Structure 1
Amino acid sequence: MPESPEVQALAEFLDESLTGRHVAGVDVVEFRAIKTHATPPESLAGAEITGVGRIGKHLDIALGSRHLVVSLGRHGWVRWGTGAGGEADGPPTLVRFDLDDASALELTDAGDWVSAGVSVVNDPTEVSSIAKLGPDPADPAFDPASLRAALGRRKQVKALLQEQETLAGIGGAYSDEILYDARISPVARASDLDDAARGRLVASTMKVVRDAIVARRGIPIDQLKAAKVAAMWVHGRTGRPCPDCGGTVADVPGSKGAAQYCPACQTGGVVLS
């Protein structure tokens, strides 16, 4: 699942590459990807791209007074270039935007079901998943007190970190990395953490996300996912040695291999069952 560091790098690349170009035409290949049928993406033909930004895990492509919100979902991503990719070069295209310089921007989805989508709106907050987003720890104006307040809940801390209404932009991978950096068990309840653990969690949330954004910046967009995987300390590293203590990284019980932790570093050597 694309998370804020990779989406930020993608947004910065597209902002530099697309701003000032015009949409020459739109080809909707998969109609299930269209979320605003009253204002379909075809209505953007002729519009000038005036900037690209990130909101949580979403891309916000500004076209004058309108916004093309690209929700990448679980397996979505984009291709850009002259001649465009098409299905032969990777995951299938959902929507293709031809630009006035003979290049094209394609929304793709590598999943077995369509999770990515596009919305054409006057304000990004018209997209319900954006309207309910919590604060973004990558934002320089992020107030750590907002996360500290959420830690009073009895919710498991890993699930809380991934809850977009609490924090914007964090998914399964970076929640694992944050908890590892903070040396906190993935199954601990937020309300059970002592003050020291809460302080570590707040600091690690900001550090891990912000450091990852810096590390991904400038990487070609078709290599961002691989760069993310290569940078993980524990996520996706089941059975491999912990980079700090050398212990064996294990799966979080019940995660079906989708979440990992280091027993030696996070649970006092106890393997969760």
Structure 2
Amino acid sequence: MPELPEVEALVAFLRENAVGRVVTRVDLAAVQAIKTFDPPLSALGGLEITGVGRHGKFLDLDVSGLHLVVHLARAGWLHWRTGLPAAPPKPGKGPLAVRVHLAPLDADPPAPGFDLTEQGTRKSLAVYLVRTPAEVPGIARLGPDALDVDRERLAALLGSRHGQLKGALTDQTLIAGIGNAYSDEILHTARISPFKMADKLGEAELVRLADAVHAVLTDALDRQLGQKAATLKGEKRSGLRVHARTGLPCPVCGDTVREVSFADTSLQYCPTCQTGGKPLADRRLSKLLR
């Protein structure tokens, strides 16, 4: 799932490549992806992209006052294209959800554009066309951006939440921008169990956690800024130390990275670095270590 660093890097890429271009046409290939009907996507035709921003994990393209807002969900992505086909795509064919055609900045073709795609059968990619980003329910419910949360604010936010720390970090209404992958990385860097209760952290743990949130996200962002959209996923994977590395050695201590699986997701952690050497059990079978 694209998280804060990837979406921010996409923002930077689109500011460089899309701002100042006029939208010539928008093709909808997956009806379930569009979550609004007024204004229609056709209203974008002839309007200029004037800005690009981010709200948590939402991408926001300002198109002359209308906002094309995208949540890429778990398996969505934005692909920059040159020389898009003129024929409209066939609905329901392949991963394509929305195609945005842009005018070239000079008289010479090919005209560029971008595709919003989603792999797999579980379709969660969401596209909104609104007059203000606050009309998007997910944006209206967002907590403060993770990069804007200092130690004192983090302590207050977590102190109000009685639940496991992993879930608190990924709750977008509490802190915006952190997902499954970077929460694993943050907790590993902070040397804290994912199942520690959020409101039971000691002062030293809060300091380590706040420092880890900033360090992990800014390091990922520094590595990804300036990358092309096509290379951002690979750059994210290359920087991960525990997430999606089950069975591999921890780069800090050499212990084997372990996994806890849930119905539709999983987490990874290092027992030596985070849980005093004790493996975590799956809650479906036994009580989790805290």
Tell me if both proteins adopt one fold, taking TM over 0.5 as the criterion.
Answer: yes
Give the number of aligned pairs.
Answer: 269
Is 1:210 the equivalent of 2:218? yes
SS at match of 2:146: coil
Give distance in 2, aligned partners of 1:256 and 1:249.
20
Residues in 1 aligned to 2:226 and 2:69: alpha-carbon distance in whole angstroms:
22
Query: 1:164 is paired with a residue of what secondary structure?
Result: coil
1:240 aligns with 2:248: yes
**CA distance in 1: counterparts of 2:184 and 2:221, whole angstroms:** 16
Q: Does 1:99 align with 2:106?
A: no
Deviations 1:242-262 (A, max 9, x none): 001001000025477621000
Aligned to 2:285: none
Separation (CA, whole Å) in 2 of partners of 1:43 and 1:106: 18
Q: Give the secondary-structure state (helix, strand or coil) at the position aligned to 1:151.
A: helix
Superposed, 1:143-162 pairs within 5 Å as 143-152=150-159, 153-162=161-170
Higher mean alpha-carbon deviation, 129-138 vs 145-154, is at 145-154
Per-residue CA shift, 1:145-200, capped at 9, x if unaligned?
22211222221000000000111110000000000000000111112221111111
Deviation at 1:138?
2.1
Q: For the residues of structure 2 that align with 1:255 and 1:186, how far apart are their CA atoms? A: 17
Q: Which has the larger radius of gyration?
A: 2
- Counterpart of 1:149 in structure 2: which amino acid? A
Give the distance between the partners of 1:138 and 1:15, measured in 2 at CA.
20
Judged with a 3 Å threshold, the aligned counterparts in structure 2 of structure 1 residues 188 and 50 are, in CA distance, closer, same or farther, namely same
Partner of 1:124 in structure 2?
A: 133
* Equivalent-residue separation in structure 1 for 2:135 and 2:167 (angstroms): 26
Letter in 1 for 2:135: E
- Find the counterpart in structure 1 of residue 143 from structure 2: 134
TM-score normalized with structure 2 length: 0.88
- Unaligned segments of structure 2, at least 5 residues: 105-110, 282-290
Matched, 1:189 2:197: yes
SS in 2 for 1:154: coil
**Structure-2 residue corresponding to 1:268:** 276
Asked if 2 retains the 8 angstrom alpha-carbon contact of 1:180 and 1:262, the reply is: yes
Partner of 1:113: 122
Q: Secondary structure at the match of 1:170?
A: coil
Q: What is the aligned partner in structure 2 of residue 19 from structure 1?
A: 19
Q: State how far apart, in whole Å, the 1-side matches of 2:145 and 2:205 are.
A: 21
Task: Evaluate the alpha carbon distance shift between residue 154 and residue 68 of structure 1 in structure 2; reply closer, same or farther with a 3 A threshold.
Answer: same
Structure 1 portions without partners, runs of 5+: none
The one-letter code matched in structure 2 to 1:94 is: A
8 Å contact from structure 1 (residues 251, 257) kept in 2 = no
- Aligned residue number for residue 68 of structure 2: 68
Measured in 2, the distance between the counterparts of 1:95 and 1:256 equals: 26
- Alpha-carbon spacing, 1:248–1:29, altered in 2? closer, same or farther (3 Å): same
Is this contact kept in 1: 2:69–2:129, CA < 8 A?
yes
Q: Identity rate of aligned residues, in percent?
A: 47
| Residues 192-201 or 156-165, more deviating | 192-201
Kindly indicate whether the alpha-carbon contact (under 8 Å) linking 1:5 and 1:209 is maintained by their aligned counterparts in 2.
Answer: yes
Aligned partner of 1:59 in structure 2 is 59
Per the TM alignment, residue 111 of structure 1 is displaced from its structure 2 partner at its CA by 2.6
| In structure 2, C-alpha distance between the alignment counterparts of 1:259 and 1:174, rounded to whole Å | 10
Q: Is the 8 A contact 2:259 2:267 kept in 1?
A: yes
Which letter maps to 1:146? R
Contact residue 38 and residue 130 of structure 2 kept, 8 A: no
Q: Alignment partner for residue 165 of structure 1, among 168, 173, 181?
A: 173
